[in-house]
A and B are shown apart, each in its own frame.
Chain A
């Protein structure tokens, strides 16, 4: 039986949700505000919230000093490419685990997840040496492969969860109608799992976009994405917080806008099958 929600409780819940939302968003808001201050005001004590001399100077300096578009383009290719490649591998894998499970399916899923528990730095040297041997250092294709591999467990897990919600009888009916395996996955399963696939894609693009260990350690000048762009504005000797904030705002803006417009699909996909 559903629990009755009184208007008072609803108001409290709404206020609470807003408070938590604002708390989470505050660092981003502060970064954006700081990017419009001059350096001296960026470190002002007490901090200046809205009443300061708004300036675009930091954005001009960042534009002049760095080739933003090159970093942005690298980020788009690396995040998009790794997600696409991940989907190509993960959809058949999740299909087989969801609809043709074996005794070991659960163990395989847990093992895949366990690979996420290894600290990345633990395999830095082996991966670096492999990249040198294969000529993949400072290449976008190298990063696409690495980010695909590190996000693959999450993609497989998410798709597996969504696929499990789809009745196997529908796929069986398609098979009885003569659909091949490829047709079954492409024309029957995929359209039904679109919300799940969409949220998987969005989440993985965000993860790949924000990944800052491998993208910093495996790149130099050519394949460096926006994470390296931000790192180039951080300095332990010198107060460049306003410029760093401008660079950060420029780096997160595309993914923030993408997340903003697709939040419905993201939330729907993430909560799909969460409550039974």
Chain B
């Protein structure tokens, strides 16, 4: 009897081992943010459904990840089977033939449910190259109590003029309250992203239709002068080095009246475990200037398959599961609707349970008001709201944003920075053969 039980147990153990040993292992490179980490905790559900696919994670900080996956995909290294990439890389890499097209996803997946703005930004020539895991735009987060104290009411779609006035009215230097906190940190994805999105609403653009830099135009001068003026009046000291995390920290500690930043921040500032002002936060659309373009951006973290991977089928299965409606329901069931990955699927915003989340509607409105294919008042030759989806942009915009940060730090004037930005951009575009 004992022998039989032992034999059976041994057979079961062997069977389990054989199942794991026979499983195909895919390596997924991803960023370290709340939603991605949450997905790693949901892998039991994936393994139960697909026992023949094992997933290994490589989690890296955003900038490290970007460098790492760029090196790998451009050399066809094959270190990863699934990569987490953004809206900037996807159309460029898709055009280069570096990504597997995702136009054959299963009917159950319902690719038509992906929000059109997201699908548009993650496609090249109408072909989807990455499936959005979550999407974000930017919006105003403001202190309802301070707004009330200032005797003002936040419109749902305010103008920059109102925001400047409200910021000044909410500023209380004696109590260490800054009317407005915005990104000033150098970097194309930090302060560079904010000022580019803001410039859209002032009628500025990076390039004209012949790829000539446009920093010598009045809209750019207006943008920078407005930004610097407002931040001098109502911004925190040292804002030239503040990025997302620094402003999040200030806002959570009750030191900002308003903060315009990624919609994903809404879940942080309304979390009572981390935020001292969790129950006093309101939301509004990013401001405009009456020119038909708002100053919000559009971004998505999406999953893509590098061309040349030997495990394309398994990688596609994983992507379908991770970006499916089923996954959203799984997260909602385990962690609540406020924690599901937002901004990727239309059906999420048709779900009454999700629409009860305080920031759900404003997130959707913000995403819908950003159009990556038509982001500027004057026509522009590039795709992207807070970036231009060309390979040279990241390098150029990093340098330009350093010049802008030097203005915020009081090291040079607006005119000097714009002149340098004009020269940097035109030189780089000429060297790259655009002009």
Contact = CB atoms under 8 A, between A and B. Distances in A.
A239 B248 contact: yes
Contact of A132 (B77, B273, B275): B77
B71 A128 contact: yes
Interface stretch (B53-61, B114-122, B142-150, B203-211): B53-61
Contact of A231 (B57, B60, B71, B76): B60
B34 interface: yes
B219 interface: no
Contact of B274 (A40, A234, A235): A40
A138 B56 CA distance: 13
Interface in A94-139: 124-125, 128-129, 131-132, 137-138
B80 A236 contact: no
B64 interface: yes
Interface residues of B, number: 45
Contact of A44 (B33, B58, B80, B253): B253
19 contacts: A43-B249, A132-B77, A132-B78, A137-B77, A138-B79, A216-B68, A220-B29, A221-B56, A221-B57, A224-B58, A228-B58, A231-B61, A232-B32, A232-B58, A232-B59, A236-B61, A237-B262, A237-B264, A238-B34
Interface string B249-273: 1001101000000101100100001
Contacts of B58: 220-221, 224, 228, 232
Contact of A137 (B32, B57, B79, B276): B79
A222 B262 CA distance: 34
Interface string B69-91: 00110011111100000000000
Interface string B35-61: 001001000000000000000111111
A132 B75 contact: yes
Given A132-B75, A216-B64, A40 B252 contact: yes
A151 B297 CA distance: 45
Nearest to B31: A235
A228 B189 CA distance: 22
Interface centre among A40, A131, A220, A239 (most CB of B within 10 A): A220
Contacts of A221: 27, 56-58
A262 B189 CA distance: 44
Most buried by B among A43, A216, A235: A235
Given A220-B58, A231-B60, A238 B29 contact: no
Contacts of A125: 71, 75
Contact of B32 (A128, A216, A222, A235): A235
A143 to B, nearest CB: 13
A142 B255 CA distance: 49
A9 interface: no
Given A40-B273, A217-B68, 18 more contacts: A65-B37, A125-B75, A128-B77, A131-B77, A132-B78, A138-B79, A216-B64, A216-B68, A221-B27, A221-B57, A232-B58, A234-B32, A235-B33, A236-B61, A236-B63, A236-B189, A236-B243, A237-B262
Judged by DSSP, the binding face of B is mixed
A238 B268 contact: yes
A271 to B, nearest CB: 37
A236 B27 contact: no
A103 B128 CA distance: 64
Nearest to A138: B79
Interface of A: 39-40, 43-45, 65, 124-125, 128-129, 131-132, 137-138, 216-217, 220-222, 224, 228, 231-240
Considering residues A131, A137, A221, A234, which has the most beta carbons from chain B within 10 angstroms of its beta carbon?
Answer: A221
A170 B283 CA distance: 81
B245 A239 contact: yes
Contacts of B37: 65
A39 B77 contact: no
A124 B78 contact: no
Contacts of A129: 75
B249 A239 contact: yes
Contacts of B40: 65
B244 interface: yes
Contacts of B27: 220-221
A239 B245 CA distance: 6
Contacts of A40: 252, 273-276
B4 interface: no
Nearest to B261: A237
Contacts of B72: 128
Contacts of A222: 56
B245 A236 contact: yes
B274 A237 contact: no
Nearest to B274: A40
B110 interface: no
B326 interface: no
Nearest to A227: B64
A239 B268 contact: yes
B33 A216 contact: no
Contacts of B29: 220
